[in-house]
Amino acid sequence: MYIRMKFIIVVVLCLFPFLQSSAQLRQKLLLDQEWEFRSDKDGNNLTWEKVTVPHTWNATDGLTPDYYRGTGEYRYHLNILPEMLKQRAFLRFEAVSQVADVFVNGIPVGNHKGSFNAFCFEITSSLKKGDNLIEVKVSNRLDNDIAPLSGDFTVFGGIYRPVSLLVLPKTCVTPLDYASSGVYIHQNKVDSKQAELSVVTKVNSSKAEKDLSVKTSVFNAKGQLVGNCITRKASGKDETVEFVNKLNIKQPVLWNGKKSPHLYRVFIEVMKGNTVVDTLSQYTGLRYYSVDAQKGFFLNGNPYKIKGVNRHQDRAGKGWAITNKEHNEDMELIKEIGANGIRLAHYPHSDFFYSLCDREGMLVWAEIPLIGKASPTPAFTENIKLQLTELIRQNFNHPSIFCWSLFNELCEGDVKKLIQELNEVAHKEDPGRLTVAAANVENRPENVITDIMAYNTYPGWYWAQPSTMKSSVAHWNRLVGNKGICVSEYGAGANIWHHQQDVQSAPKTDGIFHPEEWQAIVHEQNYRGISSSDFV
């Protein structure tokens, strides 16, 4: 069966006459149509159904407590043209929940554990001319070695984010560095006068190369060149080589939140001699920020009160298998209420949404799914470190992200050592960003490890009166040594069909009647306490 594929072709325009280039250096083929799927729920299901990707098998039962957590199988017939076999081929999955085993023509090409990050496998040697069968065996069973182990949300099973075939040159910016772009834009020092950048590009070649170089060019939003640099090296066969290009951008236009989310384009050219063999663009914004223990968050030297929401990635009837349409709808709703920040709870979200936050000037709290509890096994520790590393490397260049969150509401067991190790991983991977965590239990030892600390606190809903928010945040701040805190969750539940004009006290949180009027009271009084506390 021959499948139509969507092509995204990078066309390189030579700016200098001595450079030779190909019109099709790298291709990205979106594999979204004519997948086949069967569920193993009944144990003997031999019937394949046609589906599109993104897809989840919990679209219907995902809102019920006994939703199916088990295994399913996907397959796809991929037509490979002869000229494609002259290049390298990679399969990139943006997310599969939560364990994926991938086969090409019956040959196992890789395994990935974790529901939220991308992964990529090279499949060059497994392909043949004509029809090729891709098979993906997926499981969303509870696995004590894979986070999350708890949480008040459904773990939808399936290939719920896009899948792509990457056809790349023999020598290319590698897509195999934890499925990242292979390009890391380090903002060593940024202010209004200049930005000092170190751009790391990881290049892999299928054969030894003596004369490799990487040219990095930076363009502003008007397309004007504002800086470039070139570095030369040699590489061995199948060796990944790091090229570091240092640039100074004079008087940069700063990425300044919603007021001015200015983005620069960083353009990478990989060359053998004078021939361009691969190109790649990444977008970033130049900014600096800090946290003052008494005055709160500062963006580009100015006070910047972050007012935001927590966002999950699901929809009724679709589960996690949402499209750019739903991502855009969420962003418009968040903008409508006047927010300038988003906590992407409680796990890594799609690259499209991080990029949307970059363009809209939303500050982002990015998070791994360590929720409630952790397993004491080495396998769990290894996997949650992997999930953190993937999160950071895949999203390194997004200017909207200001912190990496290490856990949410840990309340069981001794996890101090694990959080210390995760904190070290985050700082090693990205020394330029803060670490944070969200707690709801006082005086646990892991609550003082991260750079900044946050608390989920619900006065007026789970306890006390809504007017006690001011004293609540002051109490939490004292517990972390008065270094300033975030309020990572607050509020009250409500039903748009429930109303009571004279409501005086909180309804039962586990009851059946939740009037909107009480929710409004809680928000108004909670927010008054938060906004009057400068250290928040």
The residues annotated as belonging to the active site are 409
Letter string b/e over residues 481-499, b meaning 16 or more CB atoms within 10 A of that residue's CB:
eeebbbbbbbbbbbeeebe
In whole angstroms, give the CA distance from residue 239 to residue 241.
6
User: What is the SS3 assignment for 454?
Assistant: strand
Crossing angle, helix 516-531 and helix 469-479, to 10 degrees? Answer: 50
Cβ atoms 278, 171 nearer than 8 A: yes
Cβ atoms 419, 407 nearer than 8 A: yes
H-helix or E-strand spanning residue 394: helix 378-394
Tokens for 103, please give them. Answer: 């086969």
From 454, 474, 516, select the one nearest 491 (Cα to Cα): 516
In whole angstroms, give the CA distance from residue 182 to residue 205.
13
From 490, 477, 484, 478, select the one nearest 519 (Cα to Cα): 490
In whole angstroms, give the CA distance from residue 268 to residue 270.
7
CA count, 13 A, side-chain hemisphere, 82: 0
In whole angstroms, give the CA distance from residue 426 to residue 389.
7
Tokens for 151, please give them. Answer: 């949480």
Cβ atoms 181, 199 nearer than 8 A: no
